[in-house]
Amino acid sequence: MAEKRSLTPSQRALRGRIGAYALHARHDPALTTAKARAEFLRRFEERVDPGGILDPVERTRRAAAARQEYFARLAYQSARARAARAQRRAAPLADSTPESSREADDAR
């Protein structure tokens, strides 16, 4: 009997990407994701008008602003995460400076 092997996270991601490309090669992506997109957008309308009392035009305007806020917040969090990751990667490099370089800096 063949032994079952686990996939690494990068292998799982690649496998998922292959599946998505195959799906989109066979079907229109706009159609396959229409329900999910509609629900995603509806969530913002529900957030700005939970009781459904606003004029539809005003609800749509507020929902658009809520979407912009959501994506701006994601971009901000992403930038902070990238900066923190870059700082963590740079920290070991600063600690690995050869002693001779440090001594030369001290002599100046």
pLDDT of residue 101: 53
Please indicate whether residue 108 or residue 76 has the higher confidence score (pLDDT).
76
State which amino acid sits at residue 62: R
Q: Give how far the C-alpha of residue 75 lies from the chain's centroid of Cα atoms, to the nearest Å.
A: 8
Give the model's confidence band at 102: pLDDT under 50 very low, under 70 low, under 90 confident, else very high. low
Confidence at residue 23, expressed as pLDDT on a 0 to 100 scale: 95
In a domain, 78, yes or no: yes
Residue 39 lies in a domain: no
pLDDT band at 96 (very low <50, low <70, confident <90, very high): low
- Specify the number of domains making up the chain: 1
User: Residue 22 pLDDT > 70, yes or no?
Assistant: yes
The answer for residues whose C-beta is within 8 angstroms of residue 55's C-beta and 6 or more apart is: none
Domain membership of residue 61 (yes or no) is yes
Domain for residue 62, yes or no?
A: yes
d(CA 7, CA 14): 10
In angstroms, rounded to a whole number, what is the distance separating the alpha carbons of residues 108 and 83?
32
Q: What's the domain range around 92?
A: 55-96
3-state helix, strand, coil in the chain (%, to 5): 80, 0, 20
Mean pLDDT of 27-32: 93
- The pLDDT value recorded for residue 5 is 79
Please give the Cα distance from 82 to 76 (Å, whole number).
10
